[in-house]
Structure 1
Amino acid sequence: MHFLDYLVVVAYLGLMLGLGVFFGRNQSRREFFAAGNSMGWLPVGLSVMATLFSSNSFVFYPAAALGDSLRIGLSLVAFALMTPIVVMVFIPVYTRLKVETAYQYLELRFHVSVRILASGLFVLLRIGWMASATYAASVVVSSVMGVSQIAVIVGLGIVSVGYTMVGGLRAVMWTDVIQFFVFVTTILVTLGLIVQLTDASVMEIFHTYFDGREGLVLDFTPSMTLPYGSWVILIGVFLEGLSAFGADQVAVQRYISSRSERSSQLGAVLNLFGLWIVIPGLMMIGVGLFAYFTEHSSELGTGTLTEILAGDSKVADRALPDFVRVHFPAGLAGLFLAALMAAIMSSIDSGVHSVTTAVVVDFRDRLFPHLRPDNERAEIRWIRTLVVIIGAITITLACFVGPLGNVFDICKMLTAAFGGPLLAIFILAFFSKRATWLAVLLSVSISTIFTLALMCTQDWFSIWYWPIGFGTAMVLGWLASYLQAAEPTEYTFFQIMKHQDGDV
C-alpha cells in the first residue's frame, strides 16, 4: 500500500461520512425512512442496484469466471425475465397503497400475523445476508491492506452505520449512487490494466480462456450438485431476483421513496441496465485473469494454472486481490479498495436502514404503539438508537461467519430458506383469491423448516434451495387454503389495479 492508496481510501470514507452529515439536517421520520418521497428515477435505480449487488458479488463473479465457468452469466437472463414482473406487479401495489413497508400490504390482504411473520423473515434474512456479505469482502480488503479482517469489518461497519444513522435514506441512496460509479470505474480500470499486462488482443485472451475447455457457458445437465448449472441459474436466480427486487424491504424502501410510480418503475429498469454493465465487466475480469495467469502461473503457485486451480479451490478467490496487490500502480490499488469498501458499505447501510424500518413500522408501531414518542425529535432519537443496535449486531455476526464454511453457499442458503417462502407469500397474496391467512402461516412456516432441514442433510448446490423453498410454500399454501373458508378481499393485484388510482 502506497501513501496515495491510503489517501484515496481515507478521502472516500470521509466523503461518505460528509454526505451523511450534509443530509442529516432537519431530519423527520418521513425524511429518515422515505427521503420525503421525493427521489427521482436515477437515484432509485442506481441505489437498488448498488445495494443488492453485494460485496459477495464483487468478489464472486471474477472468481467464478476464472475458475471453471461463465455459466453464472445466465443470471443476466434471469434478471431480465423478472424485471417486468417487478415493474408491472410489485411496484404498482406498493405505490398505490402508499405503504411504509412491503409487509404492511400483507396485513391488508391477510392478517396482522402474516405481516409479522413476513417482516420477521425479512429481518432474519437481511441480517444474515449483511453479515456474510461483509465478511466475504473483508477477506480481500484485509489481504490487500495488510490489516486484520476484524479491523476492516469493524471500521467499515462504524462508518456505514454512522452516515446511515445521521443522514437517513437520502444519505444512503446518494452514497449508493456514488458507489455504483466507483464500481464501474474500478471495473474499467482493472480490465484495461489486465489487457495491458497480458500483452494480447481481446480475441487472443478469449482464445486462451476457451482453449481445450468445455461447458463454460452452458451446461443443462440435470444435476442437483453441479455448480452453476444452467437450469439452477435460470430458475433459482430468477426467483432470487424476484424476491430481492420485489419482496425485500431494501428494494421496496427505494420504490416508495420515489416521487411517483413511474419514477419507481424507471428506476427498476435502470437497475437492470446497471446489472448488465457490472456483471459482464466482472466476468471479463475473470477471463482476463485466466489469460494472464496462464502465462504467469508462478504468481499463484507451482505448476500450470489448471493444476493450481484443481489443487486449491480458494486460488480463484485469491487471484484478483493478489493481482491488485502486485500490479496496480500507486493510487489505483486505493481505487480498487474503495470499490470493495463501497460494496461492503452499500450492503451494510441499506440493510441496517431497512431492518430498522421494518422493526419500527411492523413491530413497534403495530404491536406496541404506546412506545412511539409523542414528538418528532424523540422519534428520530429512538430510530437512530435502533440503527446503532442493529448495526452492532450485524458487525458482530460478520466477525464470526468465517468458520461456518463457504461464504457464498452460506449466503445463498440463508436467503433461500427465508426468501423463497417470503416470495411465495406475495405471489399467493397477489394472485390467489382462495389463499387465506392461516394457510399462508402454515405453509411458510413448514417450508422454511423443511428447506433448512434439507440444507443440513443434502449436499446440493446452494441456489437449488430457492425453487425448493418457494415451490414448497406455494404448493402447501394452495392446498392448505381449503382448510379455511376464503374471506372477501379488495387487495389482490387485479382488484388493486381496478380500484386504486396510481400517481403516475
Structure 2
Amino acid sequence: MNDIAGSFGKVNYAVVGVYLAVLVAMGLYFARREKTTDDFFLAGRRIPWWAAGLSIFGTQLSAITYLAMPARAYATDWTLLILNIGIFAIAPFVIYLYLPFFRRLNITTAYEYLEKRFHVSVRVFGSISFVAFQLGRMGIVVLLPALALSAVTGLNVFVCIALMGILSTVYTVLGGIEAVIWTDVVQAFVLIGGAFVALGIIIGDLDGGLGQFVSVAAENGKFNLAHLNWDWTSDALIVVIIGAVFTNSLVPYTTDQAVIQRYLTTPNERQAAKAIWLNAFLAIFAGALFLLVGTGLFVFYEANPQRLVSLEKTDQIFALFIARQMPDGLAGLVIAGVFAAAMSTIDSSMHSISTVVTTDFVRRFMPQLTESKYLLFARCLTIALGISGTVTAMLLARIEIKYLWDFFLGIMGLLGGTLAGLFMLGIFTQRVGTAHAWIGTVASLSILLYVKLATELNSLLYGAIGAITCFGVAFLASIITPTRTEHRAGLNIYNIPKAIN
C-alpha cells in the first residue's frame, strides 16, 4: 500500500485541503441564516426544485455509490443497473399518492403522518426504525472513503475514520439543511465530472481505444444485465427487479426522512415533484456511468496487470486508479469529491436524525420548551451522532464484508421494509387500525428475522418481504377482527388532503 500512497503527492493533498475548506466555508455562510428549527430543518421552504433534486441525488449517491458500484462492476457485471431503473416505476406513485400527504399535512417528519393516521406508538416505532438504519448507514459511509484515504495515503484506516468523523461532524453542526443541500449540489457536479475524467483516461490509455474497451468487456461478460434463473439467493433478474422496486426505491423514497425532508424544502408541491423526476433521471444516468467506470477499470487492469497491486478490499479499486493514474491536482479533486460525498451523506443522516428526534420525541413530549432550546438540542445531538457514526465505522472496519454495497442494501431492506408497509397501510386502506398495524409490524419483523438468520435469500428481497408481510397480515387482521376506526379527513387516498400551496 505504501507505493500507492507515495504516488498521491503534495499537489493532491493541497487540492483536497482547499476543497474541503470551501465546503466548511459554505457551512459557515449558511449557518448565519439558521435562526429557528424551521430554518434548520426545512430551510424556510425556499430551496428551488433543481437544487432539491440534485440534493436527493447527492444524498442517495454518497461514497457508497461512487466507490462500491465501480468495484461491483469491476468484479462482476452490470446487473445493478436495473436497481436504479426502479425509481422510474416508483416516482409517479410517490408524486401522486405520497407527496400530497407529506406536503399538505404541515409536518416536519414523515413519521408525524403515522401518528395522525394510527397512534403515537406507531410514530415512535417509525422514528426509531429510521434512526437505527441511519446510524448503520453513517458507519458504512464513513468507512468507504476512509478505505480510499487509507489506500492513497498509507494512513491507518482507523485514523482516517477518526479524521472523517470529526470533520463531517464539525461541518454538520455549522449549517442546517440549507448548507447541506447547496454543498450537495456542488459535490454532485464534482463527482460526475470525476467519473467522466476517469473514463476518458482509461479509454485514452488503451492501445485499441474504445474498440478495445468494448471488445474486452463483452468477451468477459461485463455488459451482462440479467441472470436468467430462479435462484433467489443470487442476483437473478427477478430478484434484482424486486429489489429495484422495493428495497432501492419504495423504501428510501417513501420512508426515509433524509429524502422526504428534501420534498418539504421546496416552495410548493409542483417543485417537489420536479425534484423527484430530476433525481430519477440522474440516478439512472449516474448508475450507468459508475458501472461503466468499473468495467473500464477491469479492462484497464487486464491490459496493464503490472499496475495492479494487492488490495485489502475490492472497494478500493477505484481509489487505486485515481491515486496512481490520474494527473496531479485532478486526482486530488476527485478524492476530495469522494470525501465530500461521504460528508454530504453523513451530514444528511445526522441532520435527518436530529430532525426526527427533536420533532418526534423532544417537541412531541416536551412541548413547553422554547424554540431556541429545541435548536440547541438539535445541534448538540448532531455532535453525539457524529461520535456514534465514527465508532460504528470503526466497528465495521473489523468485520470482513465482501461487498459493502450489498451490506448497505441488506440493512435498508431489513429496517425499511416494515416501515414501507406501515405507510402503505396508512395511505391505501381505511379499515386498518392501530392494533392491526401493530400485528402486521410484529409479523413483518418476525419473518424478516427468520429470513435473515435461517435462509440465504438475497438481501435485495428484504424490503419486499417486509413491506408485503406488514401490509398483508395487517389487512387480513382487519378483516378477521374488524374494529371501529376513526376516519379523519385527509389521511388516505380516499380523502387526499387539499393543497395548501
TM-score interval (norm. to shorter) = over 0.9
Does residue 1:436 correspond to 2:443, yes or no? no
Alpha-carbon distance, 1:496 to partner: 4.1
Match of 1:279 among 287, 292, 298: 287
What do the CA deviations read for 1:315-372 (whole angstroms, capped 9, x no partner)? 74343222222212211221221121122111200000000100011111112334x2
The equivalent of 1:369 in structure 2 is 367
Distance 1:409 1:284, change over 3 A: closer
Separation of aligned partners in 1, 2:141 and 2:252: 15
Q: Which runs of 5+ in 2 are unaligned?
A: 1-7
SS in 1 for 2:161: helix
Does residue 1:208 correspond to 2:216, yes or no? yes
Match of 1:18 among 16, 25, 36: 25
SS in 2 for 1:329: coil
The equivalent of 1:477 in structure 2 is 474
Map residues 108-127 of structure 1 onto 2, 5 A cutoff: 108-127=116-135
Separation of aligned partners in 1, 2:304 and 2:211: 19
Map residues 76-475 of structure 1 onto 2, 5 A cutoff: 76-211=84-219, 213=221, 216-226=224-234, 228-240=235-247, 241-300=249-308, 316-370=314-368, 372=369, 374=370, 376-406=371-401, 407-475=404-472
Separation of aligned partners in 1, 2:111 and 2:45: 18
Count of equivalent residues: 488
What do the CA deviations read for 1:297-321 (whole angstroms, capped 9, x no partner)? 233369xxxxxxxxx9x77434322
For the Cα contact (< 8 Å) 2:26–2:179, is it kept in 1? yes
Does residue 1:494 correspond to 2:501, yes or no? no
Separation of aligned partners in 2, 1:209 and 1:245: 33
Alpha-carbon distance, 1:134 to partner: 1.9
Q: Amino acid of the residue matched to residue 331 of structure 1? A: G
Separation of aligned partners in 1, 2:51 and 2:297: 33
Does residue 1:49 correspond to 2:80, yes or no? no
Separation of aligned partners in 1, 2:390 and 2:222: 41
Alpha-carbon distance, 1:239 to partner: 0.8
Identity of aligned residues (%): 28
Alpha-carbon distance, 1:153 to partner: 2.0
Alpha-carbon distance, 1:470 to partner: 1.8
For the Cα contact (< 8 Å) 2:102–2:264, is it kept in 1? yes
Does residue 1:39 correspond to 2:47, yes or no? yes
Separation of aligned partners in 1, 2:272 and 2:377: 29
Q: Amino acid of the residue matched to residue 100 of structure 1? A: T
Q: Amino acid of the residue matched to residue 341 of structure 1? A: F
Separation of aligned partners in 2, 1:139 and 1:174: 26
What do the CA deviations read for 1:414-454 (whole angstroms, capped 9, x no partner)? 21111001101111111111211111122213312331332
For the Cα contact (< 8 Å) 2:69–2:405, is it kept in 1? no
Q: Amino acid of the residue matched to residue 182 of structure 2? A: W
For the Cα contact (< 8 Å) 2:151–2:316, is it kept in 1? no
For the Cα contact (< 8 Å) 1:141–1:340, is it kept in 2? no
Separation of aligned partners in 2, 1:135 and 1:301: 21
What do the CA deviations read for 1:147-195 (whole angstroms, capped 9, x no partner)? 2222222222222222221211101111111111111111111111111
Alpha-carbon distance, 1:501 to partner: 2.4
Alpha-carbon distance, 1:484 to partner: 4.3
For the Cα contact (< 8 Å) 1:421–1:447, is it kept in 2? yes
SS in 1 for 2:451: helix
Separation of aligned partners in 2, 1:152 and 1:175: 22
Distance 1:290 1:220, change over 3 A: same
Separation of aligned partners in 2, 1:41 and 1:253: 13
Q: Amino acid of the residue matched to residue 244 of structure 1? A: P
Separation of aligned partners in 1, 2:281 and 2:460: 23
Q: Amino acid of the residue matched to residue 383 of structure 1? A: A
For the Cα contact (< 8 Å) 2:119–2:434, is it kept in 1? yes
What do the CA deviations read for 1:197-250 (whole angstroms, capped 9, x no partner)? 123332331111111538822213111221x32212211121121211222100
Distance 1:477 1:140, change over 3 A: same
Alpha-carbon distance, 1:258 to partner: 0.9
The equivalent of 2:5 in structure 1 is none
Distance 1:474 1:295, change over 3 A: same
Q: Amino acid of the residue matched to residue 494 of structure 1? A: I
Separation of aligned partners in 2, 1:26 and 1:174: 14
Alpha-carbon distance, 1:116 to partner: 0.8
Separation of aligned partners in 2, 1:162 and 1:260: 31
Q: Amino acid of the residue matched to residue 363 of structure 1? A: F
Q: Amino acid of the residue matched to residue 418 of structure 1? A: L
Alpha-carbon distance, 1:20 to partner: 1.0
SS in 1 for 2:432: coil
Q: Which runs of 5+ in 1 are unaligned?
A: 303-311
SS in 2 for 1:53: helix
What do the CA deviations read for 1:32-66 (whole angstroms, capped 9, x no partner)? 01101111101110101101223221112111212
> What's the RMSD between the two structures over aligned residues?
1.9
Separation of aligned partners in 2, 1:494 and 1:484: 20
Alpha-carbon distance, 1:26 to partner: 4.1
TM-score normalized by the length of structure 1: 0.92
